[in-house]
Structure 1
């Protein structure tokens, strides 16, 4: 088992978590300012120096339970609160989509580029936050340096370690079923046409070391040799793979591509100062796992009603508490007895000290 696998596992799962949250925030029309804050708060905590320090230690990969605890605290770090049952379903979805990427990755380095696709997306999510963007870019460079120091054997062992971590997981994911990449029993579809990476031989040959004898067999798969292309590990480079990109994107833009305009921000501020705009509610419900038009339209007719019913029943309640903005903080200075509690727990990752 590899002792250098945790950063790759952690960053890819974090990326998948953010894809799901972004898609549901957009689908249910959560206001841009509120949704952007949730995403940025979670990303900021994802790259907390204490977590990354622990992840990059030369040690066995975190257990599923430890990682689940970390992501539960990450997803609740902002004004959004997720109940444990819904978090468990979200975690299963993260694991299955990443497992799909690992199984379909080829060669020694494609899994590294899958990870960089996730980091690229995180950079887009925080595009309007220069300080946070610098933090993610620093983490990007740290990860690339970490992978560059791994030998070919270590990269192979890292992939095997991740596959061992993900073994026996067979949760059904509607979008993978609709793409034809997953069967109804949760297993993945392995196609009969495949491209092998550069410097690898087409399967079908057995060589015996002792006497030099060579035997051939039919693999049952139509293999072709891949072109000699070098994917980039630079910021903004071409990864030459779609694995690790956002599966939940439709024709509509992701929250990463939206940024509130200066006029919108000024209008909202003026409305608050004049008392023309009042918070609609301190609570809103976000349905993370209910069927949306995009998924139902993409889902093939062969998907049984039981699978659709199971998906429909998965709900999550997310509570939004009062935001302590800079404007409200200034008011608090004038009225010192006012308690503006955001409900955000500062001590979210103490479990890391005992990992």
Structure 2
């Protein structure tokens, strides 16, 4: 079992989480200031150098429950909140898409997928976001790649495949793109669009241009969506400048089992108080003073991505 699997799981699943959130923000026409604030808050904590430093410590792979809770805590650092039901749906989506990527990748591709995830998320961020955060994360993976032997690659690949082996949910976006069959199994690489296959880790939603009635009819009913909206936490616009995260660290020391780190989630390298963008001939101004939380709009369409198997 590889002792380097945890950062791959956390970072890649975290990037897939960003893809989903960004897609829902756009679909629901969330105001630009709120959208950028949500992405900025989550990415700043997910890729914070202090957190990555801990994750890249050689360690037994963290459990599913621990990593799920860690990512839920990271998502909660923004003005958005997801209850357990919502996070469960999001978790299924993240894990299945990354599992699919691993299923069609070579051992060395795991690093390529991670780099592509980071670079693709970087493109989603505001122009004035501190790019040094992404540079640091990329250097972490690059350093690890340079020290890996063939046995290390094999061990990492086997550990990741085993870790994701318990997930079997059918995902509508994978079905629509022909990446997953109706029985839940993944399509063979030889049958997949080569453009998608050569860009594993990119935002898969950019390839998803249509939704068939067959798949739409299998999505969660409207009543369940209403329940989801009603069960969400109501969070004000105020936000603390630091967050505390429980770490998935276990180095044989009982004192580290519940290790907590405190992360400063402010960005000193860049000014995020006033940015003007032109989009569709409309000037949209980024204002750091946010109104009420957008989470009720954010997850309305989350269930459209799932087919429960």
Aligned to 1:116: 115
Q: Work out the CA distance in 2 between the residues paired with 1:153 and 1:320.
A: 47
Structure 1 residues 312 and 111: alpha-carbon distance in aligned structure 2, compared to 1, 3 A threshold:
farther
Moved more, 3-12 or 184-193: 184-193
Deviation (angstroms), 1:50: 3.3
Q: Work out the CA distance in 1 between the residues paired with 2:63 and 2:241.
A: 24
Greater Cα radius of gyration, structure 1 or 2: 1
In the alignment, is residue 79 of structure 1 matched against residue 82 of structure 2?
Answer: no
List runs of 5+ in structure 2 lacking aligned partners: 249-255, 260-309
Deviation (angstroms), 1:54: 2.0
Deviation (angstroms), 1:185: 3.4
Aligned to 1:321: 236
Q: How do 1:1-355 residues align onto structure 2 when only pairs under 5 Å count?
A: 1-106=1-106, 108-130=107-129, 132-190=130-188, 241-249=198-206, 297-299=210-212, 301=214, 303=215, 305=217, 307-309=218-220, 313=224, 315=228, 317=232, 319-322=234-237, 342-344=238-240, 346-351=242-247, 354=258
Deviation (angstroms), 1:308: 2.5
Higher strand share: 2
Structure 1 residues 80 and 304: alpha-carbon distance in aligned structure 2, compared to 1, 3 A threshold:
closer
Q: Work out the CA distance in 2 between the residues paired with 1:34 and 1:188.
A: 36
Deviation (angstroms), 1:127: 4.8
List runs of 5+ in structure 1 lacking aligned partners: 195-225, 227-238, 251-293, 323-341
Structure 1 residues 309 and 85: alpha-carbon distance in aligned structure 2, compared to 1, 3 A threshold:
closer
| TM-score between both structures, scaled by the size of structure 1 | 0.63
Q: RMSD across aligned C-alpha pairs, in angstroms?
A: 2.8
For these two proteins, the number of residue pairs brought into alignment is: 246
Contact persistence 2:70–2:246 (CA under 8 A)? no
Secondary structure in 1 aligned to 2:3?
A: coil
Deviation (angstroms), 1:300: 6.7
Q: Taking CA–CA contacts closer than 8 Å with sequence separation of 6 or more, which of the two structures ends up with the larger relative contact order?
A: 2
1:82-138: CA deviation from partner (whole Å, max 9, x where unpaired): 1111011111110000000000113x31121111110101221335235x2112211
1:132-169: CA deviation from partner (whole Å, max 9, x where unpaired): 21122111112111121111111111011000000021
